[in-house]
Amino acid sequence: MIDIAVHVAGFIFLCFAVFRITVARTGRIQRCMWVFALCLGFSLLLNAPNTRPAPSLSALLVVLTHGLKLAALTCLALMAAMLDRPPADRAARARHLGVGLVAQLASALLYAASHVIVTDDAVLVRPGRSWAYALYGAIFAAYGCLCVVPLIRVLARHARRAAPGPIRTGLRLMTLACCAGVLWTSWALADALEVLRIGRVGLGEDLMSTLLGVTVALLGVGGASATFWPGVLAVPARWFRARRTFHALEPLWTALYAELPGIALEGPPARRHGGLPWRATFELYRRVVEIRDAYLALRPYAEPETAERITSSAHRQDAADARRAAALEAAAIAAALENRRLGRRPGAPATETAHPKPHAPPTLADEADWLRQVADAFAHLPETDRLDHRVEPADEH
């Protein structure tokens, strides 16, 4: 399970890096962002158990993954400096790079002084050298906090000033990711204490480190790409709404299809409940067309007096009158269906628009929304109203 989580976190960072390079590869902050994601993603994947090289190369791999993580932290320090107000100048950025280089060199020297032996699943430290490896881990934890804490402060300040919306949401998520990052880098102190206690430490990420890494990946990538969410989520959200409306029309469409099976444009109803998600909008609009075809077929059987009441009710704009108009239209449909079953034609000429039509929605989406309200009212009609071919006069207000 840990192996899977490590790979998931690594691939999230690498995919985000490719995404940032594709959409916004220019600018210092953007470069720091995707270099950070590349370094951290590769370090996680290289440190995963099933991607480690032979034991003879494992010692080099430990140094490489550690160096990649330090480079990622340096990118965060540069981002914090450039997002600050006023932004850091070239000399300040050079100082951050210098501190990062010192951390890399100090870590390499302490690792060499530890005289470690790397096995398949652990790093063994020679007796009397535990202090060097403990400092090796302590430098990583201290440098991590030094890089991440300023970024937390900068992101939190920007989030407070941002207007409500995806940008503020993204800044808050990145702030949370940085807070989890502080815990993640500080977890290196646990390895340092373990080395001091027993002279060895497990190779790779342990359970807590893995969980923190996945948390950082999800929050950080989610926050950094928050401005793209509306566009990305709009399509599946539209599919979901279309599928939900499609099923909401079921009571009305089923009743119409039972009496007028010819309205089905494609296949019997048993084949119409599934479908691929990206066809939901097409299927919904096809169902709307079928319902309107049924309305046309029911025109000779509609009660002439219902059309006038429905139309006058639809002129009012408040929600209560909209529900009343939908209920009247549903009742009129039930009456027309019953008249057709009984072979009764109330006498409305086929050329007149005697079928219920409270308004003409400007778009197919509006039409589907209106028919959803009618279908809901139709589903809640009392059984006697569905069987009675007459619609009782509505109370006038």
Q: Which domain holds residue 220?
A: 2-224
Q: What is the pLDDT of residue 200?
A: 84
**Residue 281, token pair as written in the block:** 């909008």
pLDDT band at residue 387, thresholds of 50, 70 and 90? very low
Q: What is the pLDDT of residue 126?
A: 82
Please indicate, yes or no, whether residues 213 and 243 belong to a single structural domain of this protein. Answer: no
Q: What is the 3-state secondary structure (H, E, C) of 83-132?
A: HCCCCCCHHHHHHHHHHHHHHHHHHHHHHHHHCEEECCCEEEECCCCHHH
Please indicate, yes or no, whether residues 46 and 193 belong to a single structural domain of this protein. Answer: yes
Beta strands in the chain (DSSP E): 116-118, 122-125, 200-202
The answer to whether residue 394 is domain-embedded is no
The answer to whether residue 185 is domain-embedded is yes
Beta strands in 90-189 (DSSP E): 116-118, 122-125
Mean of pLDDT values over 86-113: 88
Please indicate, yes or no, whether residues 289 and 210 belong to a single structural domain of this protein. Answer: no
Please indicate, yes or no, whether residues 313 and 347 belong to a single structural domain of this protein. Answer: yes
Closest Cα partner for 174 from 143, 218, 210, 212? 218
Q: What is the pLDDT of residue 361?
A: 60
Q: What is the pLDDT of residue 351?
A: 41
The CA-to-CA distance between both ends of the chain, in Å, stands at 67
Residue 319 scores a pLDDT above 50? no
Specify the number of domains making up the chain: 2
Residue type, 348: A
What is the rounded distance in angstroms from the CA atom of residue 153 to the CA atom of residue 6? Answer: 28
**Residue 36, token pair as written in the block:** 């950070």
Please indicate, yes or no, whether residues 262 and 123 belong to a single structural domain of this protein. Answer: no
Residue 5 scores a pLDDT above 70? yes
Mean of pLDDT values over 123-132: 85
Share of the chain above pLDDT 90, in %: 14
Q: What is the pLDDT of residue 146?
A: 92
Q: What is the pLDDT of residue 167?
A: 86
The answer to whether residue 36 is domain-embedded is yes
Please indicate, yes or no, whether residues 187 and 276 belong to a single structural domain of this protein. Answer: no
Residue 2 scores a pLDDT above 50? yes
Residue type, 306: T
The answer to whether residue 340 is domain-embedded is yes
- The model's pLDDT over 328-346, given as tens digits with 9 standing for 90+, comes to 888 888 888 888 888 877 7
What is the rounded distance in angstroms from the CA atom of residue 182 to the CA atom of residue 220? Answer: 13
Closest Cα partner for 103 from 72, 129, 128? 72
Residue 207 scores a pLDDT above 90? no
**Helix (H, G, I), strand (E, B), or coil: what is residue 124?**
strand
What is the rounded distance in angstroms from the CA atom of residue 374 to the CA atom of residue 355? Answer: 14
User: Residue 148's domain is classified under what CATH number?
Assistant: 1.20.1070
What is the rounded distance in angstroms from the CA atom of residue 15 to the CA atom of residue 217? Answer: 11
Please indicate, yes or no, whether residues 126 and 270 belong to a single structural domain of this protein. Answer: no
The answer to whether residue 396 is domain-embedded is no
Please indicate, yes or no, whether residues 217 and 238 belong to a single structural domain of this protein. Answer: no
Selected residue with higher pLDDT from 386 and 365: 365
Please indicate, yes or no, whether residues 57 and 123 belong to a single structural domain of this protein. Answer: yes
Closest Cα partner for 195 from 112, 123, 143? 123
How far lies 344's CA from each of 22, 37, 53, 338, in Å?
67, 73, 84, 8
Query: Which residue, 192, 224, 256, sits at the end of a domain?
Result: 224
CA 389 from chain center: how many Å? 49
Query: Which residue, 191, 224, 257, sits at the end of a domain?
Result: 224
Give the phi and the psi of residue 344 in degrees, each rounded to 5: -100, 125
Query: Which residue, 224, 244, 265, sits at the end of a domain?
Result: 224
The answer to whether residue 397 is domain-embedded is no
The answer to whether residue 395 is domain-embedded is no
- The model's pLDDT over 6-58, given as tens digits with 9 standing for 90+, comes to 788 888 888 888 888 887 666 788 888 888 989 988 888 887 766 665 555 67
Residue 366 scores a pLDDT above 80? yes
Please indicate, yes or no, whether residues 23 and 53 belong to a single structural domain of this protein. Answer: yes
Mean of pLDDT values over 290-308: 77
Please indicate, yes or no, whether residues 21 and 122 belong to a single structural domain of this protein. Answer: yes
What is the rounded distance in angstroms from the CA atom of residue 49 to the CA atom of residue 25? Answer: 32
Please indicate, yes or no, whether residues 197 and 61 belong to a single structural domain of this protein. Answer: yes
Strand pairing report for 116-118 and 122-125: antiparallel
- The model's pLDDT over 149-163, given as tens digits with 9 standing for 90+, comes to 999 999 999 988 888
What is the rounded distance in angstroms from the CA atom of residue 288 to the CA atom of residue 364? Answer: 8
The answer to whether residue 383 is domain-embedded is yes
